[in-house]
Copies of this chain bind each other. A is one copy, B any other.
Amino acid sequence: MTGFPRTGSGDRAFHDGLIVIDALQASNWDRELLEELREGGATAVHVTLAFWEDARAALGNIGRWHRLFEDHGDLVMPARTADDIEEAKRAGKTGIIFGFQNASPIEDDLALVQIFHELGVRIMQLTYNNQSLIGAGCYETADAGVSRFGREAIREMNRVGMAIDMSHSAELTTLQAIEISERPIAITHANPLSFHKGLRNKSDRVLGALADSGGMLGFSTYPFHIGGSGISLDAFCGMIADTAEFMGVDRIGLGTDMCRKLSSGYLDWMRSGRWSKRIDSGEAGTAGGGWPDWPAWFRSPADLPNITRGLLDKGFAEGDVAKIMGGNWLGFFRDGFAPR
């Protein structure tokens, strides 16, 4: 937490009493990073098991998490239900929610939705940045909306209890997913376009439809979603206050998009998968190459208490801070993860 004052002990005690849920982190997990989750008081984290992976590769990533649970069961546990998250809180552990940032693991096989649900996958983006078999990603120039297979996949995700995440999807595809889905959907990690014009951020039209349908937005701290690492905690919390005004304080939470210990080679995988020989820097634009710097007040999950303090300083009531820091996600997951 270089150059940023520590959260005072009073605020920290308040933070430690909360259910704290981060609806997206995509780190290269090891014991040190799992300890950061505990240090930050994270009750549950939605982790990423696929960007471009097919079914078999996704199984491999699930297998790696099984090893982490076996080897570091004192720090983390699987979270497949809202009850599991509450159990993690009681046990002083961090509940890990499995998710995919793309529909690539289900390939063209509808049956894989239930199969991955049985393996604990509870959140899936219908697209990453590109066109998927289901819809358009936010970097595509054209957006034809949700495909035939996409409609089937949404129905099946609704049936088994796998939450739909449109964080990286294009606008029409997102609006259609909200409409087609019989359950509320999520944008786990993005910010309002009105706050920062970034390719990944969302229009008022999308956020309004999301809120109206009972969906959730998770605020991202990823530098390209907030206008750079120089942004102040006060400005970040100001964005949250404005969005609470627009969407309602029950429809928002955190999805920091924190990426720790990922190599630049892995960044290339995230950006270009195996579908391109060129490096596509995407939202990084000419900044290009490596990982961006994180804001001074959120350099790792250990800094989660800073956001609690920032929200209190911004004037949010304690009850609303509790909702934003995790209570809202808990309710969304309780409804969203159970089979119909």
Q: Can you name 12 A-B pairs with beta carbons within 8 Å? A: A59-B109, A60-B109, A62-B111, A62-B115, A63-B109, A63-B114, A64-B111, A66-B111, A66-B115, A118-B119, A118-B120, A119-B119
Does A261 touch B at the CB level, under 8 Å? no
- Would you call A111 and B63 a contact (CB within 8 A)? yes
**In the complex, what distance in Å separates the CA atom of A134 from the CA atom of B95?**
35
Does A55 touch B at the CB level, under 8 Å? yes
**In the complex, what distance in Å separates the CA atom of A60 from the CA atom of B55?**
11
User: Please, which residue of chain B has its CB at the minimum distance from the CB of A119?
Assistant: B118
Known: A63-B110, A63-B112, A64-B111. 5 other contacts (CB 8 A): A59-B109, A60-B111, A66-B114, A118-B119, A118-B120
Chain A residues packing against B (C-beta within 8 Å)? 54-56, 59-60, 62-64, 66-67, 109-112, 114-115, 118-120
Residues of B within 8 A of A112 (CB): 59, 63
Q: How many identical chains are in the complex?
A: 2
- Would you call A67 and B119 a contact (CB within 8 A)? no
CB of A309 to closest CB in B, whole Å: 40
Residues of B within 8 A of A63 (CB): 109-112, 114-115
**In the complex, what distance in Å separates the CA atom of A56 from the CA atom of B59?**
9
**In the complex, what distance in Å separates the CA atom of A323 from the CA atom of B64?**
41
Residues of B within 8 A of A66 (CB): 111, 114-115
Residues of B within 8 A of A54 (CB): 56
**In the complex, what distance in Å separates the CA atom of A66 from the CA atom of B66?**
24
**In the complex, what distance in Å separates the CA atom of A60 from the CA atom of B119?**
15
**In the complex, what distance in Å separates the CA atom of A67 from the CA atom of B156?**
12
- Would you call A111 and B67 a contact (CB within 8 A)? yes
- Would you call B111 and A115 a contact (CB within 8 A)? no
**In the complex, what distance in Å separates the CA atom of A338 from the CA atom of B60?**
24
CB of A298 to closest CB in B, whole Å: 32
Residues of B within 8 A of A118 (CB): 118-120
Residues of B within 8 A of A115 (CB): 59, 62-63, 66, 119
User: Please, which residue of chain B has its CB at the minimum distance from the CB of A56?
Assistant: B56
**In the complex, what distance in Å separates the CA atom of A67 from the CA atom of B63?**
26
CB of A131 to closest CB in B, whole Å: 23
Residues of B within 8 A of A110 (CB): 63
**In the complex, what distance in Å separates the CA atom of A56 from the CA atom of B54?**
10
**In the complex, what distance in Å separates the CA atom of A194 from the CA atom of B59?**
44
The 9 A-B pairs with the shortest beta carbon distances in the complex, nearest first, are A63-B111, A56-B56, A66-B114, A118-B119, A55-B56, A59-B115, A66-B111, A62-B115, A55-B59
CB of A59 to closest CB in B, whole Å: 6
**In the complex, what distance in Å separates the CA atom of A143 from the CA atom of B54?**
36
